[in-house]
Chains A and B, each alone.
Chain A
């Protein structure tokens, strides 16, 4: 049985100025699976991802219509404090953006701002999430050092650990491996595969092979529209739309 949709996107249109970036998007993101938003550069994948936790709030001249539902709440029009909703979604960006503080501080940050101050609790959580992201062995002796001292690959795992520490339900990842070397990039992919039993994961990528490796569910976008979506097996083995077939064959990128 197909699990229930964790996020439902309906009739979503997004304009920046007069340019339409997202065109009538209807899509579902299933729970506890890796959903890959796939498509060539500039097709609106990242914008769609940022709409999910309303990072679009930061941009000028944006007009959005439609709904993005999670639970029974429309994220785009809710009266609930948006920071509470954002806390349910961890973000992994194209390149790591560690906070300007220590390794320990990076993970403790989210916990501290949500009111946890007990040192023992923070210590436990920091250790736990560094272990989840396989960083603990590498950094356990230098937790007080600035996060900027880590390699880019380590920083990206630190950013994931930091996001997980606030106990989200969803992980949003925007081309999480694009700044990483092949080894670090595989480490991130493996992590996602391990984590999907507990989290709903949405990964934006334009790398077809990466999508094939990790996807359970695919949303294929082209020029701001969703062309095709469905379970990964079906999508890659038996695509229905001409555009999808061409893309999978590598006719365009």
Chain B
């Protein structure tokens, strides 16, 4: 059973990576990741997707950063300050799970409604805000999953040393859960960089390199979408190459984060 489960997971992963590499590798070139689309790019002319790479990096870093700033204190508060209020915490978890499950197109539509009300145009900022709202539940809930396993005994020990609840949050819970919190950040980042529906109406698209928060921004998922929709076979190949770039970015960030959290793995107490 275990072998079967392991094989299934590995097989799915290999299938995705292999098919993307098979289709995309021929189209992947230095030009592709170092240039913006030239005129007629979508009909097979020269250029690349640098606009989408930069747009996606701005968007996902911005949204992940904002979601972290909001999410971390909430997750800590739920587990350190609300420890006595189990019912409230259960209710919060339930609501967050619902929010997590709402399809991203709904968040996109919601962002769009707000933009109309406020008279905003599609822009990087609108995209960042929409994606932040999309990933906040993911951020909080997955941090919460790590934090809720901090044993009560560690909490009591820290209290008995005269710690305040804030000290317990940031000096004990946070340290103990750094690996889990990094996973939560990665999960949110992956969702932020990979989501197409939330940015479709809010962020727009541009063939230029991002200059400001108030301008529309290109994103990789939409770049893939547009290229895949092209009737020209070479452009379709570029869609798979773009997918490779997207996966590479996620991979690089994941590995960097793991290396960073190595030190804290050692400090983490195994109970």
Report the nearest A residue to B177, measured CB to CB. Answer: A100
Q: B157's contact among A59, A83, A159, by CB below 8 Å, is which?
A: A159
With A98-B269, A148-B267 as given contacts, are A113 and B162 in contact (CB-CB < 8 Å)? yes
* Assembled-state Cα–Cα distance A91/B159 (Å): 9
Contact check, B160 vs A114: say whether CB atoms are below 8 A apart: no
A250 to B216, CA, bound (A): 80
Provide the B59-88 mask, 1 if CB < 8 A to any CB of A, else 0.
Answer: 000000000000000000000000111100
Q: Quick check: A148 and B268 within 8 Å, CB to CB?
A: yes
Complex Cα distance, B267 from A148, in Å, reads 7
Q: How far is the CA of A120 from the CA of B158 in the complex (A)?
A: 24
B38 lies within 8 A of chain A by Cβ: no
Task: Please tell me the number of chain B residues within 8 Å of chain A, measured between CB atoms.
Answer: 30
Question: Which residue of B156, B161, B163, B164 is within 8 Å of A55 (Cβ)?
Answer: B156
With A58-B152, A60-B85, A98-B269 as known contacts, state yes or no: A86 contacts B172, CB within 8 Å: no
Q: Which residues of A contact B152 (CB under 8 A)?
A: 58
Considering the chains assembled together, what is the distance between the CA atoms of A114 and B163 in angstroms? 9
The reply on A33 being an interface residue by CB < 8 A is no
Partner pick for A148 among B83, B84, B161, B270, CB 8 A cutoff: B270
Q: Are A86 and B162 in touch, CB under 8 angstroms?
A: yes
**Interchain pairs with CB closer than 8 A, number:** 90
> Is B155's beta carbon under 8 Å from chain A?
yes
* A157 contacts partner chain B, Cβ-Cβ < 8 Å: no
Which of B85, B154, B171, B267 is close to A97, meaning CB atoms less than 8 Å apart?
B154
Chain B residue numbers with a CB within 8 Å of A53 are: 159-160
- A58–B83 touching, CB < 8 Å: yes
Residue A10 interfacial (CB < 8 Å): no
How many Å lie between the Cα of A159 and that of B155 in the bound state? 13
Report which of B86, B155, B176 forms a contact with A100, defined as CB distance below 8 A.
Answer: B176
Q: Which residues of chain A in 78-117 are interfacial with respect to chain B, using CB atoms and an 8 Å cutoff?
A: 83-84, 86-87, 89-91, 93-95, 97-102, 109-110, 113-114
Check B161–A163 contact: CB distance below 8 A: yes
B157 contacts A91, C-beta separation under 8 Å: yes
Which of B151, B159, B269 is A147 in contact with, Cβ under 8 Å?
Answer: B269
With A and B bound together, what is the CA distance between A87 and B267 in angstroms? Answer: 24
Size of interface on A: residues with Cβ below 8 Å to B: 35
Residues of A within 8 A of B40 (CB): none
User: Do residues A146 and B267 form an inter-chain contact, with CB atoms below 8 A?
Assistant: yes
Q: Smallest CB-CB separation from B80: which chain A residue?
A: A58
Residues in B with CB closer than 8 Å to A60 are 84-86
Q: Is A190 an interface residue (CB 8 A)?
A: no
Rounded to whole angstroms, the CA-CA distance of A114 and B171 in the bound complex is 13
The answer to whether B162 and A94 have CB atoms under 8 Å apart is no
B233-252: contact bitstring with A at CB < 8 Å (1 yes, 0 no)? 00000000000000000000
A148 touches B159 (CB 8 A): no
**Cα–Cα, bound, A55→B158 (Å):** 11
Contacts known (A95-B153, A100-B269); A166 close to B84, Cβ less than 8 A: no
Closest A residue, CB atoms, query B172: A99
Q: Is the CB of B164 within 8 A of A83?
A: yes
Tell me the nearest residue of chain A to B270, going by C-beta: A148
Name A101's closest neighbour in chain B (CB-CB): B267
Task: Give chain B residues whose Cβ lies under 8 Å from the Cβ of A57.
Answer: 84
- A153–B213 Cα distance when bound, in Å, is 57
B171 A109 Cβ-Cβ under 8 A: yes
Q: A58-B152, A86-B159 are in contact. List 16 more A-B contacts (CB 8 A).
A: A55-B159, A83-B163, A83-B164, A84-B162, A89-B160, A97-B157, A97-B269, A99-B157, A99-B269, A100-B172, A101-B267, A113-B167, A147-B269, A148-B269, A148-B270, A166-B161
State the 7 A-B residue pairs at the shortest beta-carbon distance, nearest first: A87-B162, A91-B160, A100-B176, A110-B161, A97-B154, A97-B157, A97-B153
Which residues does A use to contact B, with CB under 8 Å? 50, 53, 55, 57-60, 83-84, 86-87, 89-91, 93-95, 97-102, 109-110, 113-114, 146-148, 159, 162-163, 166, 172
